[in-house]
Structure formats: C-alpha cells, structure tokens
C-alpha cells in the first residue's frame, strides 16, 4: 500500500542543521509532487515546501525560504529536506505528504526540536 516514512528528526541547537528524509513506497514515485508540512501547537499546520517529479519546480513558504532546501532522489524513491540556520520556531513535527494541493497521503511525522 502507499506509505511514506520520515526519519532524521532530533534535537539541534539554534543555528544548527538537520536533514530530514522520507522514503516512499507503493506508488509511482517519480511522477508525483512531494511536500513537507509541519505542525506546531502554536501555529498549527504549515505547508513549507513542495517539489515536482523531475525537481524542476520547487517552492517554499516565506518562513523557511533561504534556509531550507527540498530535493529528491527518484531512484531511491526518497524526498529530503535540508534545514539550515535552524531557529526555535522551527520546532515542530514534520510530515512528508504526497501530491501538491491535495495532500492525499501523509507520513507518520518526525519531530524536530531546536533548543540550546
């Protein structure tokens, strides 16, 4: 069945970096837009980035633009989120989500905590 499994979350100091990974299975990965959405108790759900199948089309929320980079490896059926210059407000559960605009399948999430 369709499955998305995130990994890479953890505790990091402000200003640090972290790379999240999402392994996909059960569907034709290379043809799908993939996305990262995060959730915090304070700000709720926030769609932070998407990437299309051939990596030609990417976009970012203003809150992460210039600090986060989305990428994918279709041979490994994986999507990544490189997070640099992390701030306390980036503390959240990060979800890997399939399909732009429609968000039909979500992973279980990985928790990122930015704290000194």
Q: Which residues bind other proteins (CB under 8 A)?
A: 44-47, 59, 61-62, 95, 100-109
Find the largest Cα–Cα distance for the chain: 41
Contact 74, 30 (CB under 8 A): yes
Residue 5 Cβ vs other proteins, minimum distance, rounded to whole Å: 11
CB nearer to other proteins: pick between 17 and 45:
45
Alpha carbon separation from 17 to 68, 112, 113 (Å, rounded): 9, 11, 11
CB nearer to other proteins: pick between 73 and 104:
104
Residue 114 Cβ vs other proteins, minimum distance, rounded to whole Å: 21
CB nearer to other proteins: pick between 23 and 61:
61
Long-range contacts of 57-62, Cβ-Cβ distance < 8 Å, separation of 24 or more: 57/33
Residue 104 Cβ vs other proteins, minimum distance, rounded to whole Å: 5
């Amino acid at each position: 069945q369709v499955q998305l499994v995130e990994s890479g979350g953890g505790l990091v100091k402000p200003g640090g970096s972290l790379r999240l990974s999402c392994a996909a299975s059960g569907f034709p990965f290379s043809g799908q837009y993939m996305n990262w959405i995060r959730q915090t108790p304070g700000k709720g759900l926030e769609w932070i980035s998407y990437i299309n199948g051939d990596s030609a089309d990417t976009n970012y929320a203003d809150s992460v633009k210039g600090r986060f980079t989305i990428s994918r490896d279709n041979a490994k059926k994986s999507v990544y989120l490189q997070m640099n210059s992390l701030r306390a407000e980036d503390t959240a559960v990060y979800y890997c989500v399939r399909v732009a605009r429609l968000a039909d399948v979500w992973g279980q999430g990985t928790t990122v905590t930015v704290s000194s």
